Amino acid sequence: MKNIKRILMVALILCIILLIGACGKSTKENDESLKDSKDSQDSGSNYVVGFCNYTVSNSWQTQMEAEFKYACERLIEEGVLSKYYITNADGDANKQISDFKDLMTKKCDAIIITAASASALSPVCEEAVDEGIVVVSFDSLVDTSEITGKVSCNDVEFGEIGAQFIADSIGGKGKIAMLDGIAGSTCSEGRTEGAMNIFNKYPDIEIVNQTNADWDYAKAKVVVEGLLNSGIELDAIWSQGGAMTQAAVDAFNEAGKSLIPMSGEASNGFLKVWKENLDNGFSSICPGYPTYISEVALEQAIRALNGETIEDLYVLPSGSIGDEDIDDYYNPELPDSYWVITHLTDEQVKEIFK
């Protein structure tokens, strides 16, 4: 009996020793985990971010990219970032996929992207998220929900504002042309969708031409000049881009044609020709689409890296400029290519477009 008790006592002691050892190991592992967590938080001052851009083919894209660059340089000075990268795919979705993968190999903690194709870029974005990279899509969005977040303006509302202005200006009937942005861009598609939401309510409005002029002055001018030379009598032009509307106004003036109602966007060049032609009876409206949307996307990515919960879709508020607002936004000291809803200083804008 005594031997049994002795054996049980030894076994109990061994169990206690093993439990203490296990607890000691667990405590050490927890300490290491806490240290890793603290190190991870401390390393927040050394984030590496990438911007996977699909084009800088127009001045809005150029200024938008600059907003990201200047924001990153400020964050480096503040100790939030250690490095940033920018890629440009020249409108090629396959090249953008390659660019995105390259940013992943550069150990980016976060990548923001405006996509050449909503569907083509989705798989690589999902792959990055699976690897622990924060991914924020903005402006021209990817069509997957399996990313960290998205940032956009209300493109449908943008299109509706301009279209309703056109419909009201021509009394709900007449021949119009539509100048769209870059084909495949969700931004362009959303604006066109919004316009059609309005025009479909007016059976007497006839769309005689609809062209992707890529938000580009030169391309839009060629389109409008062709329409004027064709002999088609247009009653209005719905345009989803400021540079395109500026080109349309210039084409009409150079052809000696009376100006017709046109919708626009908040570029300095369009506001200039709008102001110059007010006394000739020209009227317009232009919704705003801030070039600092890239900075907002970056801010959302930093918030996510810091462990904050961000919105699945963060929508910037919409606004519009009318005839009475031009002087509040037009800056004659800055170039036509400048976009007036911005966080950039005048000096930074001059540096970008020098």
Question: Is the CB of residue 133 less than 8 Å from the CB of residue 85?
Answer: no
Q: CA 124 to CA 111: how far, in whole Å?
A: 11
User: Does residue 106 surpass a pLDDT of 60?
Assistant: yes
Instruction: Please give the single-letter amino acid code of residue 62.
Output: T
pLDDT band of 317, cuts 50, 70, 90: confident
Q: Given this model, what pLDDT does residue 45 score? A: 61
Tokens of 49: 């971010």
Q: CA 20 to CA 26: how far, in whole Å?
A: 10
User: Does residue 348 surpass a pLDDT of 70?
Assistant: yes
CATH of region 155-287, choose from 3.40.50.2300, 3.10.620.30, 1.10.10.10, 3.40.50.300: 3.40.50.2300
User: Does residue 22 surpass a pLDDT of 60?
Assistant: no
Tokens of 106: 């550069």
Q: CA 112 to CA 122: how far, in whole Å?
A: 13
More confident residue, 82 or 24: 82
Terminal-to-terminal C-alpha distance of the chain: 99
The ranges assigned to domains in the chain are 45-153+291-322+336-352, 155-287
User: Does residue 216 surpass a pLDDT of 60?
Assistant: yes
| CA nearest neighbour of 170 among 92, 261, 246 | 261
pLDDT band of 12, cuts 50, 70, 90: very low
Q: CA 243 to CA 240: how far, in whole Å?
A: 9
Could you give the C-alpha distances from 125 to 64, 98, 120, 178, 303, in angstroms and in order? 21, 12, 10, 33, 18
Residue 186 CB: number of other CB atoms within 10 A?
A: 20
Q: Given this model, what pLDDT does residue 261 score? A: 97
Q: Given this model, what pLDDT does residue 318 score? A: 76
Q: Given this model, what pLDDT does residue 48 score? A: 99
Find residue 84's DSSP bridge partners.
Answer: 49
pLDDT band of 13, cuts 50, 70, 90: very low
- Mean pLDDT (whole number) for 142-171: 97
H/E stretch holding 193 reads: helix 186-199
User: Does residue 23 surpass a pLDDT of 90?
Assistant: no
More confident residue, 313 or 43: 313
Q: CA 231 to CA 107: how far, in whole Å?
A: 57
Q: Got the DSSP string for 192-236?
A: HHHHHHHHTT-TTEEEEEEEE-TT-HHHHHHHHHHHHHHT---SE
Residue-wise pLDDT for 233-263, tens only, equals 999 999 999 999 999 999 999 999 999 999 9
The fourth-level CATH superfamily of domain 45-153+291-322+336-352 is Response regulator (3.40.50.2300)
| CA nearest neighbour of 165 among 322, 51, 270 | 322
